[in-house]
Amino acid sequence: MHKQKIHRRILDKITEKLLTLSGALTSIIIVFISVFLFTEGIGLFNTPDIEEGYALYVNSENRIDNLSPEETKQIFDAEVTSWKAFGGEDVAINVFRLDAIFNFYSENELGENYELLPEKLGEVISREKGIIAFLPNEYAPQGLQVRKLETATVTLEDYFLGTDWIPTATPAPLFGVLPLVLGTLLVSFGAMIIALPLGLGVAIYLSELAGNRERKLMKPLVELLAGIPSVVYGFFGLVIVAPLVQKAFNLPVGETALTGSIILAIMALPTIISVAEDAMRNTPLGMREASLALGATKWQTIYKVVIPYAKSGISAAIVLGIGRAIGETMAVLMVTGNAAVMPTSFFESVRTIPATIAAELGEAPAGGAHYQALFLLGAILFVFTLIISVSAELISKKRHS
């Protein structure tokens, strides 16, 4: 008997140490992932705003010293055609790329191994007062009339307040995350508007109104929704919900923020229902009986006794539902249209942060500006989910008033 107690104590100690080690490892892994995200992403603000390995060159008579990424995009997209728009002379902008050199010189004139290419590029730029040339550094033009535009680095304002997400644009990629952040918040907000009334209604029914038979039937069905893979929800939204939204609102396409909100609402329902229902069922039976004994009706007891007592649990359910919506990737990727534009309504295509990471990370060169910008998106999403998780924890620990 004494040996059994000793063995039990040893086993308890081992179990305690294993659980402590497990908790410590989990904490270390979370910290490591957080540091990794921020370390990989923060390098973006040390990278030039012009594509790596290239530079912009102008005629030395041009008064412009530098251009922002947005201004560079306007020039190369032919949205602005005169240097006067940027404070220069009223001279037409002439965009020049490397392959245009063959319009001026033959291959023989450039040398057998293109050793004369820098000199010839300098001649072209010297002759054209309004030229702006996007050239690789290895063929940097030579000449007294050639000037290289100053290159800045990506700034915090460019990234967090920029309204254009075009990471593959040349010569100046644009990494404005504002459309992605607003798209994520819009879709999540729409999902909560739909899911909260439905989820709380079902939770009240299961906790207060349903009989044992109905509860035993509906509870597994609700939990089954949580086990369906997100790609299945996405396929359902793409095939069923998107055409219905398109037809109902007479839209050009059905892949919109509203479609994404509907799918996310369905996916968030199990979390909201389960947490809220458990909170309501934990209301002491004596409080219900006392309310009924004082003459309150069933409904008065629910919304004046049960719901106020369970408000912290209901609040936690709401916060966890929001976290479920914000972090969803595959379903949103399939049904929102993936348009990285500033959202103005629920009836337009949008793109969310998780969908952007999933769609673009495989194509981004490791260590490049695009790669770093995506890791910063992951850091932003991490901060969002951290705030939501901490809020849920604080709410769930709040004492009942």
Question: 3-state SS of the chain?
Answer: CHHHHHHHHHHHHHHHHHHHHHHHHHHHHHHHHHHHHHHHHHHHHHCECCCCCEEEEEECCCCCCCCCHHHHHHHHCCCCCEHHHHCCCCCECEEEEHHHHHHCCCCHHHCCCCCCHHHHHHHHHHHCCCEEEEEEHHHCCCCCCEEECCCCECCHHHHHCCCCEECCCCCCCEECCHHHHHHHHHHHHHHHHHHHHHHHHHHHHHHHHCCHHHHHHHHHHHHHHHHCCHHHHHHHHHHHHHHHHHHHHCCCCCCCHHHHHHHHHHHHHHHHHHHHHHHHHCCCHHHHHHHHHCCCCHHHHHHHHHHHHCHHHHHHHHHHHHHHHHCCCHHHHHHCECCCCCCCCCCCCECCHHHHHHHHHHHCCCCCHHHHHHHHHHHHHHHHHHHHHHHHHHHHHCCCC
Q: What is the pLDDT along the chain (401 residues), one digit of tens a residue?
A: 566 777 777 787 887 888 788 878 887 887 888 888 888 888 888 888 888 889 999 999 998 888 888 889 899 998 999 999 988 888 999 999 999 999 999 888 888 888 899 999 999 999 999 999 999 999 999 888 999 998 888 888 889 998 999 998 888 899 999 999 999 999 999 999 999 999 988 888 888 888 788 888 888 888 888 888 888 999 999 999 999 999 999 999 999 999 999 999 999 998 898 888 888 888 888 888 788 787 887 888 888 888 888 888 888 888 888 887 888 888 898 999 988 889 989 999 999 999 999 889 888 888 889 999 999 999 998 888 888 878 777 766 664 44
- Res 399: pLDDT: 47
User: Which pLDDT belongs to residue 1?
Assistant: 57
Q: For position 14, what pLDDT does the model report?
A: 82
pLDDT of residue 37: 81
The pLDDT of residue 136 is 92
pLDDT for residue 396: 64
**pLDDT score of 401:** 46
